[in-house]
Structure 1
Amino acid sequence: MNNRRCASFIQRTQSLNRMAPSSNISLLSIVHGRRSHLNNLLRGIAEQHCPPKEVVVVFMNEAIPDQLTDPGCPFFPIQLNSDDHQLPLAATRNLAASRAQGDLLAFLDVDCIPDPDYLCHLQQAVDRTHGLVMGDVRYLPPDAASGHWSFADLDRKAQAHPRRPAIPDGKDLMTLPYPLFWSLAFGLRASDFARLGGFDEGYVGYGGEDTDFAFNARLTRLPLYACTARAYHQHHPVYSPPYNHLTDIVSNAQRFHAKWKIWPMEGWLKQFQHEGLIRWDLNQLEILKQPADHQIAAARSDALFV
């Protein structure tokens, strides 16, 4: 897992030990902005019934804040500055993993608040399957996690994604098709992450790196599962389709096609093609023009699901 040469990073350790960790889990997250979401994530970590060994948070192209919520365990904030891209997602996740000391890596998106049993369920699932295991993410409406909140409030307000498969009643695990992998909330053994080579840093910015990671897991016969580890996704506006990420999506789709001989993100590519933004066929993909500002603005949505 080689980090981008142009990336520089500064590690700062905070003495935030409040309890002895009872697991060998490294909880990893990456962030750019989203301060309130990050503090809610850290609050959720502090409430874990199986507290992690450590928390590693990488700040992409921004300073580490002076004031952050105490996660109740060793906390290692890291700064990564990249000249290549404002959001070097693959490289940032790899950097977080390279600094982790735990045997199990639990990646959790900064928008997610883990239920108190989240790490207990995730660890049990990874220990049982020795696989790549996704958590059960539920979606919160706007402002559901602002101000004072309780986990009972979050659970009452959260909704399951209507287009994601649900774990059957009475089960705590199910297998998933690899194209359904999503990096919002997942865990695996550190040894398996190393065996996969981490995320491919040839993917720059937004789009494609998750599916590529899952296809590498399929290639190495690392099984993919969903488990009942609950996390609550904090609402934020989205762009559907993501015209604001057109350049990244096209570049990453080209890389994906070169590796796997199929096109990823076909739904978005079809929308871009319909708007005359790209030329796309079985073998080639290129940008014809950039979206207009009014197209990007019109695509902004407060919908819970995309």
Structure 2
Amino acid sequence: MREPVPFVSVIVPTHNRRASLVACLRGLLAQTYPSDRFEIHVVHNWSDDGTDAAVADITRDAPTAIRYDRRNGRGPAPSRQFGADAARGTILAFVDDDCVPQPDWIAAGVAAFGPGIGLVQGATYPNPSHPRRLLEKTVHIPRPSPWFETCNIFYRRTAFQAVEGFSGPFADLFYGEDTDLGRRVLAAGYGSAFAPGAVVHHDITAQPLRRWLMECWHLRNIPMLVRRWPALRDDLFLGVFLSRQSAAFDLGVAGLVATPFVGPVGLAAFVPFLFVRMLEPGRYRNPVAVALRAAFGLPRSAVTFAALLTGSLRHGSIRKGGIVL
């Protein structure tokens, strides 16, 4: 980095999350990084929830420059691209509106850039001040991720521009655009790093059953990603299955299909899935809660199976190499 203290542009896409965005901005304004060496750009996919007024209120007394743009965008990726195009920084920092950056977030992320490093991932944890829910949405990324999630990531601007940012077949998709961007930066010859001190706390939000189940439907884009970036198979279970849990569920489905031929014993093929669900690390310690977690995993895993099967049929074949189950 040529600058002794690189200038950082923090890009925050937002939609219908006024309260969460306010917490995010307060976290950004409490950074230990010099306040005159970074800017904040809020890109608002318009929602009539008072977001514009809330940002204006915070901006009045902010020690750091805050830019606000209202757009009727097509989703988070175009908003991030819009923010990146307007950025002044040599480092582009992306964070989601439901994340609270901790005080050293920018400083730790910038410090991890070395020669040839094009992107730096930070650590994301569920917000410890939020209550846990049985049906919830949050993010937990304590170590380097092959998916390069944009809830907490930094890009060298020259690397971002070298691959034309959020472009290509994932540019307008809701899931997979961040993975594709990170993979293109690596393919362009840049390295990646992980900054454990660049921490954000992700909201824990309760979800109704239908939304909790359908969150997994976005996984239908994974076979398309794997077809485009075969090296992702190194991070799949046995190179084919999304995870050990999905492999165990697929075994259960195979047993269910075989039931007309082998009788009820075929249903025993679901036993490994329940064991995997119960034995995998989780936040529950009470045996009853662990059992409930295992049971609730069945319908969610069914949606995951349907999503991956749909994506594999659409984007994959043995010849094209896009099968993920």
Coarse TM-score class (shorter-chain normalised): 0.5 to 0.7
Tell me the alpha carbon deviations over residues 110-167 of structure 1, each in whole angstroms, 9 at most, x when there is no partner. Answer: 12222222211211112566331011223214647xxxxxxxxxxxxxx994x743xx
Structure 1 Cα separation of the partners of residues 205 and 308 of structure 2: 31
TM-score, normalised with respect to structure 1: 0.63
Query: Structure 1: any 5+ residue segments left out of the alignment?
Result: 1-21, 145-158, 166-175, 287-306
Is 1:191 the counterpart of 2:158? The answer is: yes
Q: Give yes or no for contact 2:38–2:89 (8 Å, CA) kept in 1.
A: yes
Q: Which has the higher helix share?
A: 2
CA offset at residue 283 of structure 1?
Answer: 5.4
Gaps of 5+ in 2: 132-137, 251-298, 316-325
**2:123: which partner in 1?**
136
**Identical amino acids, percent of aligned pairs:** 21
Letter of the structure 1 residue corresponding to residue 159 of structure 2:
D
TM-superposed CA distance for 1:58, in Å, is: 0.6
- Residue 107 (structure 1) shift: 0.9
Q: 1:115 maps to which residue?
A: 102
Q: How does 1:167-246 map to 2 (within 5 A)?
A: 176=144, 179-200=146-167, 202-203=169-170, 204-227=172-195, 228-237=197-206, 243-245=213-215
Q: Which of 30, 43, 47 is the equivalent residue of 2:26?
A: 43
CA apart distance, 1:190? 0.9
In 1, are the aligned partners of 2:7 and 2:91 still within 8 Å (CA)? yes
Could you tell me whether the CA contact under 8 Å between 2:216 and 2:307 is conserved in 1?
no
Post-superposition CA distance 1:246-269 (Å, at most 9, x none): 66543x346435533678994689
Query: Structure 1, residues 263-293: CA drift from partner, whole Å, max 9, x if none?
Result: 899468977884584583895239xxxxxxx
The 3-state SS of whatever aligns with 2:85 is helix
Give 1 or 2: higher strand fraction: 1
Q: Which secondary structure state, in structure 2, belongs to the residue aligned with residue 199 of structure 1?
A: coil
Superposition deviation, residue 181 in structure 1: 2.0
Quote the offset at 1:232 in angstroms.
2.1
What letter matches 1:42 in structure 2?
L
Higher mean displacement: 61-70 or 263-272:
263-272
Which of 49, 52, 58 aligns to 2:43? It is: 58
Equivalent positions of 1:1-306 (< 5 A) are 23-50=6-33, 51=35, 52-62=37-47, 65-68=52-55, 69-70=58-59, 71-82=62-73, 85=74, 88-127=75-114, 130-141=117-128, 143=130, 161=140, 164-165=142-143, 176=144, 179-200=146-167, 202-203=169-170, 204-227=172-195, 228-237=197-206, 243-245=213-215, 249-250=219-220, 252-253=221-222, 255-256=224-225, 259-260=228-229, 266=242, 274=302, 277=306, 280=309, 284-285=313-314
TM-score in terms of structure 2 length: 0.60
Structure with bigger gyration radius: 2
